[in-house]
Amino acid sequence: MKILIVADIHPNLEALQAVLAESHDEMWVLGDLVNYGPNPSEVVDLVRLHAALVVQGNHDYAIGNGSDPRCSNAFREMARAMQEYTEPLLDADQRAFLRSLPRTAARTIDGYRFFLCHATPAEPLFRYCPAEPALWAPEIEGLQADIVLTGHTHVPFTMNLERLRIVNPGSVGQPKHGAPMACYALWENGRLPLQSCHYPVEETVKKIFSLPVPVEIRSQLAAVLLSGFLPGRGGQVTI
């Protein structure tokens, strides 16, 4: 079984198409299909067509329910402007799909027990938890799993903690590891390496600059895609 594991697509259609070109038997999605990117309807439809498992992210919840995604201050205005752009582009069925997504999921493959969430097992939608053992220890207490798959931070990592392995594949559509590459992970024969690939980011940026949102929002979104960092900041950030 070869499983493509992706998170935080943030409807970047070009990045998702590049990742889907990777040979796989199943695709698992760790949330945030929507917001920030120019192609929400197309991305939702592609995920519904290709994914075997999908869990809900904070932006899926927010756009499905017309509520606040509770993102960090650095991205709050971008999230608000792009939510106003995104919501009218999704039909009732697509919004119902986003609302219906489970907060967590579990699957056993080749004897390994997987637990899927967008943020953390204890708080699946909103909590930011980077690769720090002290922060993750209470999150996995009592969890019956061998591998935890998580997203939300847009920064890829893999970490062994107690009996568990925690893997964040990074972001497909808005990476924060300092390079304009789509990130993902690939499970096969007991191995789960982190991967990344190039995609035509200039095409996505061109779409962003044509969006009906304030020019400063367009510039910030484009800069994040092209640099892998928040504009004006030298470090990685979460959203």
- From the number of C-beta atoms within 10 Å of its C-beta (0-12, 13-18, 19+), residue 50 rates as middle
Q: How far is CA 100 from the centre of its chain?
A: 17
**Pair of tokens at residue 39:** 């192609």
Domains in the chain: boundaries: 2-112+169-227
The pTM assigned to this predicted structure is 0.94
Q: Which residues pair with 115 in a beta bridge?
A: 106, 148
Least Cα distance to 120 among 158, 148, 79, 160 occurs for 148
Answer yes or no: is pLDDT of 172 > 60.
yes
Contact yes or no for 212/55 (Cβ under 8 A): no
Least Cα distance to 118 among 65, 187, 62, 49 occurs for 62
Q: What mean pLDDT is predicted for residues 12-41?
A: 98
pLDDT at 237: 36
2-112+169-227 folds as Purple Acid Phosphatase; chain A, domain 2 (3.60.21)
pLDDT tens digits, one per residue of 96-107 = 999 999 999 999
